[in-house]
Structure 1
């Protein structure tokens, strides 16, 4: 880790440089072999480790030696914090592509103004001709109209609804238990007919058939782009895909597959395969699958489901974490599955992250012709920032809502009343059950004050207005 830190140039993307200062302190004492190192930097000030959790700070600081750090614990804490800062974008690597400073990738406002009108029309936030008047008030009125139409549709369809019940006294909604009617005779006949017309195939046979018809194997080859110097590139690429896809390993597979050695399979996997080429081959398969009649019977490709699967990894993997849910170390393979029953994109993420963060990334990196506009997810997809970005990016985020009975429902206006679902919003005219007027702008931070983005003085005098606003909204559930 020290060798890697010496070869890379790190920079903070905010004015909070505590982690990089601690890293520099650890690098200055890299050659130390004692159990303790000094807790003071070159200027005589104490190294700030407030970025770490209390457990880390207890492990690093020895009560019997107040001016020193436990060296090994301090180094582990610094590199763990550095990995987290790189993951969240608070620390960037100069010259990197994946860990570049995100603030340098933002468009200047002059370029945004040129592209804004076309973008609003493309994502459905405005119609042709409306972009000239698209401002904050128009955006707010658009959201209010959407809320008003959704509430009116729910009120009109409530009498015909057989599952949702709203308590007229408390306004708490509840769902009636749904009981399956069982498998119909027509479904059983359909299953028998499918089995008769679709014989069982081996997995390696399916790989060979799809490679022959779709020709996804032509995506692979040496990095130079030249033709592969292999006797049978088709067969070798199919075997390598099967071996790597089943996680069997080249030398284990060579024990069961005659005519090929483990060295040959490992050579092709390391020299002719890459993540970019794999994604291109996946896009070819997705595009071919979308043209099938049976896949169009399942769906039209406009909806996608996002969910993660725990995968075992080596403990020394940088992405490996202990999952609280599964009780073992590993990572999460986060899939985007189309309504045509094929995976569009898969991303490997740590266990400790909120999965909703990677919903948008999967849509952006999807290189196939299938472009979904609706994303279904479990409770890990419920996130206020991701809801906001989904609306601005022009797709519908439909997660399973956690604690939905305790949510506060707002009226489009103070005078709005409904026939069937009015109890859901509380009493008409109740102040905290309606959308108020436009908020008073929060004052700008004090230009003469401390501008540390993680310090308590970052907002300056604006904190007073925020504290007043939070005091007015104490009715909100689970507000810290």
Structure 2
């Protein structure tokens, strides 16, 4: 009843929308669409109950709903009938979820199009599959033709066997990890902080003495002058900007948007510019695509510095999100339970060379693990990481599988790792030091036959052949388009100058 109080006001609009849009399933599961058709047939009903049978006399299948939903929809005292209000709410809630996950598509739509229709043809993928397998390290040059489900099974099995053997051999020299020989529960010893060495203090003193202090605006201007990233921006037509001084205007606009200040708030503190000028430049000369190109220029220039090579080689990246304030009338604005205020999440990929490779702006309720892979695919800089460190949001089984197929190592912070089940490579495998970690001998063994069969079943996903590797190759070959949900964000606009600025950072 709580949900119907929210949906009931828009009931007529939702039925009209469902009548005008043409929905289609992206799999063989039509249960939600069949339930929607049943609700549409009884849209003009005003009674408390409707029949539970369709026009052919078959009972409408609502097994897609949870047990609590089915209890609310089915009245035990009235066999063969549904509670109408509860049934409608259940159907529209399930339809929204199916549209979000891609199990239901809208014909003629861009945002909710059928993803299976956008895949490459098998003939196109077959030409690129061999080079893709070599590039991501799944097989060697000349062995691509023989790579199949058996080869994939053998590869991951050998990888687990080698990793477990290395852990067993290195356990006696490990000073931090302790495995209880009786229960097999692992634990970590407390790490003691070591005081800063005198050489580190001398280095810090020399860095502060030799590096002059710069203002943030000065840093933005200097990098724009030396790297020329400001030339990436301009009108959408591609013509030369009709601005008196495009360099200054683009530098100031980048500073204002990057600090989340807002154009009219910035005009109060920066002499010589107006809020209208800054807002006009941001709306007419900046875009997500151009910003990503400018970011790639900066990342490439940073990677060529000597000091960045002292920090890392660019093969490792860390991914994490930061809460950002937004306008409330924003398609991405949500009230975060974790942060206790509305806004969105800026999801960053930070390289081990101490530079941000890529940033997504996502809603608060989205699973961040999805954007771990998307950020790597959309990274257009010369820095190509192969290892990703993430927080507990990165602990996702589908992401682990795709990470292996896309050729990078996912290293998240494991949630509740003491209670996890560790699997042996085979029933006969035993270890000298870490055997208690896997439980009783002969148990907790990976079902390699299941992995092999699931790999083979992927061949039926697309007419003409292909397998799970095809979809990974398609993602890498196609790349990813500009985020559709960021195209129509509200830009800078007049606002109360006494309110704190909370614009969406580009």
Q: What is the TM-score with the length of structure 1 in the denominator?
A: 0.78
Residue 432 (structure 2) pairs with residue 419 (structure 1)? yes
SS at match of 1:242: helix
* Alignment counterpart, residue 223 of structure 1, candidates 236, 258, 263: 236
User: How many Å separate the matches in 2 of 1:397 and 1:295?
Assistant: 23
Instruction: Answer 1 or 2: higher relative contact order, Cα 8 Å, separation at least 6.
Output: 2
* Alignment counterpart, residue 320 of structure 2, candidates 307, 322, 332: 307
Task: Tell me which moved more, 180-189 or 335-344.
Answer: 180-189
Residue 367 (structure 2) pairs with residue 354 (structure 1)? yes
* Alignment counterpart, residue 107 of structure 1, candidates 120, 130, 148: 120
Q: Which residue of 1 is the match for residue 442 of structure 2?
A: 431
Q: Which residue of 2 is the match for residue 196 of structure 1?
A: 209
**Preserved contact between residue 346 and residue 360 of structure 2 (Cα < 8 Å):** yes
Q: Which residue of 2 is the match for residue 148 of structure 1?
A: 161
**Preserved contact between residue 72 and residue 83 of structure 2 (Cα < 8 Å):** no
Q: Which residue of 2 is the match for residue 476 of structure 1?
A: none
User: How many Å separate the matches in 2 of 1:161 and 1:172?
Assistant: 16
Q: Which residue of 2 is the match for residue 172 of structure 1?
A: 185
Distance change >3 Å, CA 223–CA 95, structure 1 → 2: farther
Distance change >3 Å, CA 417–CA 56, structure 1 → 2: closer
**Preserved contact between residue 29 and residue 37 of structure 1 (Cα < 8 Å):** no
User: How many Å separate the matches in 1 of 2:387 and 2:211?
Assistant: 31
SS at match of 1:234: helix
User: How many Å separate the matches in 1 of 2:281 and 2:364?
Assistant: 31
User: How many Å separate the matches in 2 of 1:22 and 1:219?
Assistant: 51
Aligned residues: 436
Residue 262 (structure 2) pairs with residue 249 (structure 1)? yes
**Preserved contact between residue 42 and residue 50 of structure 2 (Cα < 8 Å):** no
User: How many Å separate the matches in 2 of 1:277 and 1:336?
Assistant: 18
Q: Which residue of 2 is the match for residue 122 of structure 1?
A: 135
SS at match of 2:105: strand
Distance change >3 Å, CA 441–CA 151, structure 1 → 2: closer
SS at match of 2:346: strand
User: How many Å separate the matches in 2 of 1:255 and 1:343?
Assistant: 30
Distance change >3 Å, CA 202–CA 136, structure 1 → 2: same
SS at match of 2:449: coil
Distance change >3 Å, CA 279–CA 92, structure 1 → 2: farther
Give the 4+ runs in structure 1 shifted more than 6 A: 6-9, 18-30, 35-41, 43-62, 77-80
Unaligned stretches of 5+ residues in structure 2: 1-9, 76-81, 458-506
Task: Tell me which moved more, 342-351 or 319-328.
Answer: 319-328
Task: Tell me which moved more, 346-355 or 234-243.
Answer: 346-355
Task: Tell me which moved more, 413-422 or 226-235.
Answer: 413-422
User: How many Å separate the matches in 2 of 1:189 and 1:127?
Assistant: 48
* Alignment counterpart, residue 304 of structure 2, candidates 291, 307, 318: 291
Q: What is the TM-score with the length of structure 2 in the denominator?
A: 0.75
User: How many Å separate the matches in 2 of 1:205 and 1:37?
Assistant: 68
**Preserved contact between residue 36 and residue 69 of structure 1 (Cα < 8 Å):** no
Aligned Cα RMSD in Å?
3.8
CA apart distance, 1:256: 1.5
CA apart distance, 1:52: 7.2
User: How many Å separate the matches in 1 of 2:176 and 2:64?
Assistant: 49
CA apart distance, 1:91: 3.6
Q: Which residue of 2 is the match for residue 385 of structure 1?
A: 398
CA apart distance, 1:120: 1.4
Distance change >3 Å, CA 423–CA 350, structure 1 → 2: same
Q: Which residue of 2 is the match for residue 139 of structure 1?
A: 152
SS at match of 1:332: strand
Q: Which residue of 2 is the match for residue 471 of structure 1?
A: none
SS at match of 2:358: strand
Q: 1:192-218: per-residue Cα shift (whole Å, max 9, x none)?
A: 111111222111111111111111111
**Preserved contact between residue 267 and residue 274 of structure 2 (Cα < 8 Å):** yes
**Preserved contact between residue 11 and residue 93 of structure 1 (Cα < 8 Å):** yes
Task: Tell me which moved more, 387-396 or 193-202.
Answer: 193-202
Q: Which residue of 2 is the match for residue 456 of structure 1?
A: none
User: How many Å separate the matches in 1 of 2:255 and 2:378?
Assistant: 24
